Chain A
Amino acid sequence: MENSSNHTNYLNATKGIWSWLTTVDHKRIGMMYLGFIIFSFMLGGFFAICVRLELFTPNGDLFKDGNQYNTFFTLHGIVMVFLFIIPSIPAAIGNFVLPQMVGALDVAFPRLNLLSFYIYLVGATLALAVLISGGVDTGWTFYTPYSSSIGGPVIATGLAVFILGFSSILTGLNFIVTIHKLRLPGITWFNMPLFLWGMYATSVIQVLATPVIGITMVLLVFERVAGVGIFDASMGGDPVLYQHFFWFYSHPAVYIMILPAMAIISELVATFSQKRIFGYKAIAYSSVAIALFSFLVWGHHMFTSGQSRFAALVFSFLTFFVAVPSAIKVFNWVATMYKGSISLKTPMMYALSFLSLFTIGGLTGLFLGTLATDIHLHDTYFVVAHFHYVMFGGTVIAFIGGLHYWWPKFTGKMFNEFWGQVGAWGVFIGFNLTFMPQFLAGFRGMPRRYYEYDPSFEIFNQLSTIGALTLAVSFTIVGINLLVSIFKGAKAPKNPWNSLSIEWQTESPPVTENYATTPDLTYGPYDYDKRQAARAEG
């Protein structure tokens, strides 16, 4: 890689593994995160494939017993949520791109940034140690009283989540201060890329919600170690309180996952339509609105938990509000494409996949937010399909799209467009084949987290497993295509997508301090119309 570029850049400015391990350069930290995040994704994917293979037939035949099955879906959830999705876009792509978008040399606290990376590594190592020592089978939600009474390394897992949360808080804190204080003069709140608005809203949730999962895990640990009894009904405590605490974080955490995805989509849609983004302020404010609403809807995970009927009504009502800013965004993206000069490059293919999949995921969320239908659908595969449409169809697709989009900037190399397209189509088809049948199975009453199931659901599960394998193959194509490009790809120009966002003004890959000269702010990030007019005039 060192010979790949003829200018001095962040990759070859200093050499040796030690220069990476002690770097405070946000770009290098972002790339190190990216490596571990992709490793986590493959690990989580491996568990998912195992679960899907088990479910290919109604009988339990692949795993030793149901407990082993429980362990596998728990590990799938923990690895995907805490090691992959939550840090994915902010810590990897955000870390790289965010300071460049504000025109800064680095994030506000570079050393804290490196610290948060190492905290992530410690948390991840602990989580992997749990995995090797036999794993836990509580589900990623760790509901009491089960989690406080069973054997196994629940404490270590709880601590891993606590530590990973710390890493997430520090990243969020760093981003908020960077956006507030390090913007280049001339980059105003309403003249900055919408990616920053999305990351800002995400960071606010990371800072405000994550401490609550921290204290929840501490309480769970004390529940196990000291039997403090506050989640134990037999001691005058309340297991439902645990659920409230857990979802007070974990619902906003869903928006920690989806808001960065929306942030990426705004960039992709505008760039590949070469058109001013429609409704800039509406998209910006809707990110903030989603962040605010995210704190008020946690109870919709608990409609069947025995919380009061009044509470359930209010939570259901508020849940519908979240749909409004989400829909505003979708409409604005579609309106942006209208009469734009759309080029269907690989990143745009992912953006279009996102639009359709996220819309399905969002709309099915409304079914679940409705009290009466939720009673029927609660804890069925319908729920599984719904949140995979949002988390996977939304966040993962946007992450992969963003990865392709900024890949030339990250590595200085262009990936192969043909194989990029093949990967995008494969992921889209494989995804729908995996999760669409789960809606049907769930609607007909197939419960989630079951090891064996009624033979009438077999066809849905077989389609789903075939879909999962298609996904695995497609992601392999995506991965190989990107990897090969590092060694064999054409050299990337500064601005391969003709974008107006300022991170494309610097070299690919960028110099260590991002910009050799102060970026030119003649055009705002979405002034495609102005540029066209200027070009027409000659």
Chain B
Amino acid sequence: MAQTKYLAHHFTDLEQQSESAKMGMWLFLLTEILLFGGVFVAYAIYRAWHPETFINAHRFLDVRLGTINTIVLIVSSLTIALAIRDMQLDRRKQCMRNLIITILLAGVFLVIKYFEYSHKFHVGMLPGKFYTFDGIEGTNPHIFFSIYFLLTGIHGLHIIIGMSLIAWMLLKVKKGHFSSNYFVPIEAVGLYWHLVDLIWIFLFPLLYLIG
């Protein structure tokens, strides 16, 4: 029976087990949304207080790079979804390939982010008291960059965590831990990755496209 190999002792069947796992993951995602919620609220308040500054400061973000990164992440969401589909059909090889592509795309995202960050560091568009750039009109331009770095930084951290989780899944697929009978951990990581993607889809217009 394929059931027993994967079934933890305290569940009665695999359906109960995978439903529990998915529910747990959804709850965890909820906590992630609330975590980001704090910074989004800060964004809303300071944009309302310093509307001019936000408009002026956002022009210094690179829309082209932001757009590329958005596309990169959306494609990576597709590839992880395909990886899950592959596992449902017991196509282990294709699943691994799609997971690898997802990790690579996440890497591309981080490299592009690195170039964006290093440019900002270079010209002194730094958060808070380290802000030295001169040339943005409006009150307290450093606040915009505080929020920019907080939001994209925490998001970037999630990308790194996501990459590690996907790499872990890759390892497990390689070792043959999953089959079409049981692949709920990949699904859970997939859910997490979609959320990370989704948060970027909110960050991108709020930071890059407010003109």
Query: Contact residues of A with B, CB < 8 Å?
Result: 104-110, 112, 169, 173-174, 176-177, 180-182, 207-212, 214-216, 218-219, 222-223, 226-230, 232, 235-238, 241, 245, 513
B45 at the interface (CB under 8 A from A): yes
Separation of A108 and B17 alpha carbons in the complex (Å)? 8
By a CB distance below 8 angstroms, the chain B residues around A106 are 9-10
Digitize B28-46: 1 where CB-to-A-CB distance is under 8 Å, 0 elsewhere.
Answer: 1011101111110110011
Q: Among residues 134 to 151 in chain B, which have CB atoms less than 8 Å away from a CB atom of chain A?
A: 139-140, 142-143, 146-147, 149-150
Closest A residue by C-beta to B30: A207
Q: A513 contacts which chain B residues (CB < 8 A)?
A: 9-10
A-B contact pairs, 21 of them (CB 8 A): A104-B10, A109-B20, A109-B24, A176-B23, A180-B20, A181-B20, A207-B27, A211-B32, A215-B34, A215-B37, A215-B38, A215-B39, A226-B127, A226-B129, A228-B128, A229-B146, A230-B146, A235-B129, A236-B50, A236-B143, A241-B45
Q: What string of 1s and 0s marks CB contacts (under 8 Å) between B115-137 and chain A?
A: 00000000000011110000000
* Closest B residue to A244 using CB positions: B41
Residues A235 and B140 in contact, CB atoms below 8 Å apart? yes
* B4 contacts the other chain (CB 8 A): no
Structural contact, B24 and A218, CB atoms closer than 8 A: no
CA distance A182 to B150 in the complex (A): 39
Determine if B35 and A211 form an interchain contact, defined as CB atoms under 8 angstroms apart. Answer: yes
- Whether B24 and A177, one on each chain, are in contact in the complex, defined by CB atoms closer than 8 angstroms, is yes
Closest Cβ neighbor of B43 among chain A residues: A230
**Contact present for A177 and B27 (CB under 8 Å):** yes
B52 at the interface (CB under 8 A from A): no
- Pairwise interchain contact B19-A181, C-beta atoms closer than 8 A: yes
User: Cβ of B139: which chain A residues have Cβ within 8 Å of it?
Assistant: 236
Contact B130 A227 (CB under 8 A): yes
Instruction: Decide if B128 touches A235 in the complex (CB within 8 Å).
Output: yes
The minimal Cβ–Cβ distance linking B111 to chain A, given in whole angstroms, is: 23
Q: Once A and B bind, how many residue pairs between them come within 8 Å at the CB atom?
A: 120
In contact, B142 and A235 (Cβ under 8 angstroms):
yes
Contacts A110-B10, A180-B23 known; 5 new A-B pairs at CB < 8 A:
A177-B23, A215-B39, A219-B150, A226-B128, A513-B9
Q: How far is the CA of A235 from the CA of B27 in the complex (A)?
A: 37
A230-B20 CB under 8 A given contacts A212-B37, A215-B35, A236-B49 = no
Q: Which residue of B lies closest to A218 (CB)?
A: B154
Residues of B within 8 A of A218 (CB): 154
Q: Complex Cα distance A216/B37, Å?
A: 10
Whether A108 touches B27, Cβ cut-off 8 Å, given contacts A211-B32, A228-B128, A230-B42, is: no
A173 to B154, alpha carbons, bound, how many Å? 22
Closest to B129 in A: A227
Q: Are A207 and B129 in contact (CB under 8 A)?
A: no
CA distance A181 to B26 in the complex (A): 14
B27's partner among A176, A226, A229 (CB-CB below 8 A) is: A176
Q: In the assembly, what is the distance between CA of A229 and CA of B37, in Å?
A: 18
| A230/B147 in contact, CB under 8 A | yes
Minimum distance in angstroms from B24 CB to a CB of chain A: 5
Is the Cβ of A105 less than 8 Å from the Cβ of B10?
Answer: yes
CA distance A216 to B38 in the complex (A): 7
- Is the CB–CB distance between A181 and B23 below 8 Å? yes
* Chain B stretch 66-96: residues in CB contact (< 8 A) with chain A: none
- Contact assessment for A173 and B129 in the assembled complex, using a CB-CB cutoff below 8 Å: no
B20, A228: Cβ atoms under 8 Å? Answer: no
Q: Which residues on B sit within 8 Å (CB–CB) of A219? A: 38-39, 42, 150
User: Which residues in B have some Cβ–Cβ distance to A below 8 Å?
Assistant: 8-11, 16, 19-21, 23-24, 27-28, 30-32, 34-39, 41-42, 45-46, 49-50, 127-130, 139-140, 142-143, 146-147, 149-150, 154
Contact B31 A228 (CB under 8 A): no
- Are A227's CB and B128's CB within 8 A? yes
**How distant is the Cα of A105 from the Cα of B10 in the complex, in angstroms?**
5
Query: For B140, what are the chain A residues with a Cβ–Cβ distance below 8 Å?
Result: 229, 235-236
Q: Separation in Å of the B1 CB from the closest CB of chain A?
A: 19
**Cα distance A180–B41 in the bound complex, in angstroms:** 32
Partner of A241, one of B9, B19, B28, B42: B42
Interface centre among A109, A209, A229 (most CB of B within 10 A): A229
The smallest C-beta distance from B90 to any residue of chain A, in angstroms, reads 27
Task: Decide: B34 and A208 in contact? CB cutoff 8 A.
Answer: yes
Q: Collect the chain A residues with CB atoms within 8 Å of residue B36's CB.
A: 215
Q: Of B35, B143, B154, which contacts A235 at CB under 8 A?
A: B143
Shortest beta-carbon distance from A511 to chain B in Å: 14
When chains A and B are docked, how far (Å) is the Cα of A211 from the Cα of B158?
A: 15
- Min CB–CB distance B105 → chain A (angstroms): 27
Contacts of A237 in B (CB 8 A): 46, 143
Residues of A within 8 A of B37 (CB): 211-212, 215
Q: What's the least CB distance linking B35 to chain A, in Å?
A: 4
In the complex, are the beta carbons of B24 and A108 less than 8 A apart? yes
Nearest-Cβ distance from residue A274 to partner chain B, whole angstroms: 33
Residues of B within 8 A of A182 (CB): 10-11, 16, 20
Q: A175 → chain B, closest Cβ, in Å?
A: 10
Q: How far does the alpha carbon of A174 sit from the alpha carbon of B38 in the complex, in Å?
A: 24
State whether A181 and B16 are in contact (beta carbons under 8 Å apart), knowing that A228-B150, A229-B146 are contacts in the complex. yes
Closest to A213 in B: B38
Question: Nearest chain B CB to A250's CB is how many angstroms away?
Answer: 13
- Residues of the A chain whose Cβ atoms lie less than 8 Å from the Cβ of B127: 222, 226-229
Neighbour of A229 across the interface among B16, B20, B128, CB < 8 A: B128
* A13 CB, min distance to chain B CBs, angstroms: 14
Q: How far is the CA of A245 from the CA of B37 in the complex (A)?
A: 10
Most central of B127, B146, B154 by chain A CB within 10 Å? B146
CA distance A173 to B25 in the complex (A): 9
| A108 contacts B20, C-beta separation under 8 Å | yes
Minimal Cβ-Cβ distance residue in A for B28 = A173
| Complex Cα–Cα for A485 and B127 (A) | 59
Q: How far is the CB of B65 from chain A (nearest CB, A)?
A: 23
Q: Closest B-chain residue to A172, C-beta based?
A: B27
CB distance from B126 to the nearest CB of A (A): 8
Q: Which residues of B contact A230 (CB under 8 A)?
A: 42, 46, 143, 146-147
Query: Which B residue sits closest to A106, measured CB to CB?
Result: B10
